[in-house]
Amino acid sequence: MHHLASLSRRSLLGFGATAVGLALAPKVWAQAAAPAAPAGPFSLPKRAYEAAALEPNIDATTMDIHYNRHHAAYVAGLNAAVKDHGVLAQTPLQQLLGDLGKVPEGARVAVRNAGGGHAN
């Protein structure tokens, strides 16, 4: 108890606020709106398993955030990169990534980053 007695009121309130914030964080993330489905030639693949399938190692909320936000953002970025380059939109992703030298310079970095994230 000696350690608690030496804490200032400000520190104690700060610890309490941090604990409440950490307890509520997963609920807040779960309630945030997911981005719209990517529009374009590349699409988010259907998951081969349920979000909760990897619990207790990876919780369902983390899997949903990864799939619905992170992976969807890669797909949206890739679609945005190829939208003005018709031939790129018709090219399979593995071919785009395998020969980035043929991707126009203005789209190359976005195709590499977003396409690589999507493929990964």
Using CA atoms, how far apart are residues 63 and 108, in angstroms rounded to an integer? Answer: 29
Q: Judge whether residue 49 has pLDDT over 80.
A: yes
CATH code, residues 33-119: 1.10.287.990
Three-class secondary structure of residue 1 per DSSP: coil
What DSSP line would sit under 15-42, residue for residue? HHHHHHHHHHHHHHHHHSPPPPPP-SS-
Per-residue pLDDT of 75-111, as tens digits, reads 999 999 999 898 999 999 999 999 999 999 999 999 9
| pTM for the model | 0.67
Q: What is the mean pLDDT of residues 32-51?
A: 77
Three-class secondary structure of residue 44 per DSSP: coil
Residue position matching structure tokens 């310079």: 105
**Can you give the pLDDT at residue 41?**
93
**Amino acid identity at 8:** S
User: Which band of pLDDT confidence, cut at 50, 70 and 90, is reported for residue 20?
Assistant: low
Domain ranges in the chain are 1-25, 33-119
Question: 25-39, 50-64, 94-108: lowest mean pLDDT where?
Answer: 25-39
